[in-house]
Amino acid sequence: MGIYCPNRQFLFCGNIMNINIDFINPNKTDLTMTATVGCGYSYIDYNNKQRKNDFAHAHIIKAVKAGDRQTQQVTLYLYKGANVIASEPRIVDVVIK
d(CA 21, CA 60): 9
Domain ranges across the chain:
2-89
User: What is the CATH code for 2-89?
Assistant: 2.60.40
pLDDT digit of tens for each residue in the chain (97 aa)? 556 566 557 788 888 999 999 999 999 999 999 999 999 999 999 999 999 999 999 999 999 999 999 999 999 999 899 999 999 999 999 999 9
- Tell me phi and psi for residue 14, to 5 degrees: 65, -115
